[in-house]
Structure 1
């Protein structure tokens, strides 16, 4: 029996377009990049804690370009890959033998996440390590409530489902990573307006890439959304929460 195709939750074309727009917006001097900055810092801290010094590394999705030179300074030969420019995480990698594969913020919008993790493991050398960080369950609670308020009695798909800690652990076990570790951490950010939050999401590649994205908000719905966002805050500032899930494991 042929293997069953994964459900089509996300549009690969919309995902690629969102990341290309992100790369363009990141050219601005004040472009927000606090989520990937947090992921980069976390990778380096984990390697230091484990006293693991990879000789070869693959970095996926770091649009800041910060992680590669930091790893190179530790003696690693680094390859970088970006989904917006043709790297397909749902297919076998065109290279392998890495001591480290670091994936930053790209896995949460793949239709075949288990397959992507299998490909990442196969790209590792024996004894190599995967560190994969992604936006996870519990993220954007204010935005979710705001969109429900905006849509009223007929809510449309606006934000995609996300992986939680339990599912992350199951994924690592299912894809045969040794000594799997899964943890989640919050990143809280304050915003003066809904429009600023939306701009930050777009600039960090976090727009709607669902295969069925739903209709755009009309003027009345957008007005309700802005009012609901303001009402959720205090003193003109609303705090939104992002939750970063990190999956790590080894190839034995």
Structure 2
């Protein structure tokens, strides 16, 4: 599949800008990265269950330190290379493990990205990817629909589900592929805190067709919708559906 034939759902330029902002915000407040910390722990737990210590691991993440540190503590060598363009062949290969955190949900050519990841593995190597899948951010989706009124804009990314991800893993040539998901819930006292969390963790909109900014009136409707959804303690619960893709070469 050529780059020209792939629908450009996501903007590479906006994705790069989001990455730079995420790195800056992460440096200012490392504790705000709860989602990636959860994904890193999920991957390490699976490796421990499989009693697997990969000799050479590549971590695909805007800020790979948490998972890389956990893997290094277990005896893995961590590849020192820039975050590759997932839609192109990797500049090097031979990895015993490729672990991807919160990256593949904004790739235009997801089938190609999986094929390139498999090709970069050593024979018998393992690929694990965690990403936000279908079912994520239902509360925010509802709030934004209320905010936009009669002319809703595309503000939340299209999301992949277990069945589609499993099919793509098979098409990419992985063996013994498994796709599963679980929910992570977080409660917020304000809409501003919810949006700040998404921004700090590099989870904001990078659609190629950028939606118009919310007007002052639309933000007022969004805050009212948030308040309407709040529980007796004034909190709104948001859900992140964590999709985990596992496959072997």
**TM tier, smaller:** over 0.9
Q: Within 1, Cα distance between the matches of 2:35 and 2:2?
A: 39
CA-atom RMSD, angstroms?
1.6
1:64-99 deviations in whole A, cap 9, x for unaligned?
61211221222211125564xxx3111111110000
Q: Which moved more, 1:68-77 or 1:191-200?
A: 68-77
Q: Match for residue 104 of structure 2?
A: 107
TM-score, scaled relative to structure 1: 0.94
Q: Match for residue 173 of structure 1?
A: 170
**Structure 1: runs of 5+ lacking an equivalent:** none
* SS of corresponding position for 2:223: helix
Q: Match for residue 207 of structure 2?
A: 210
TM-score, scaled relative to structure 2: 0.95
Q: Within 2, Cα distance between the matches of 1:248 and 1:136?
A: 15
- Alpha carbons of structure 1 residues 172 and 64: separation in structure 2 relative to 1, 3 Å: closer
Question: Relative to total residues, which structure has the larger helix share, 1 or 2?
Answer: 2
Q: Within 1, Cα distance between the matches of 2:3 and 2:155?
A: 30
Residue pair 2:54, 2:97 contacting (<8 A) in 1 also: yes
Residue pair 2:23, 2:62 contacting (<8 A) in 1 also: no
1:157 aligns with 2:140: no
Q: Within 2, Cα distance between the matches of 1:3 and 1:215?
A: 27
- Alpha carbons of structure 1 residues 199 and 119: separation in structure 2 relative to 1, 3 Å: same
Q: Match for residue 193 of structure 2?
A: 196
Q: Match for residue 225 of structure 1?
A: 222
What is the number of residues matched between the two proteins?
248
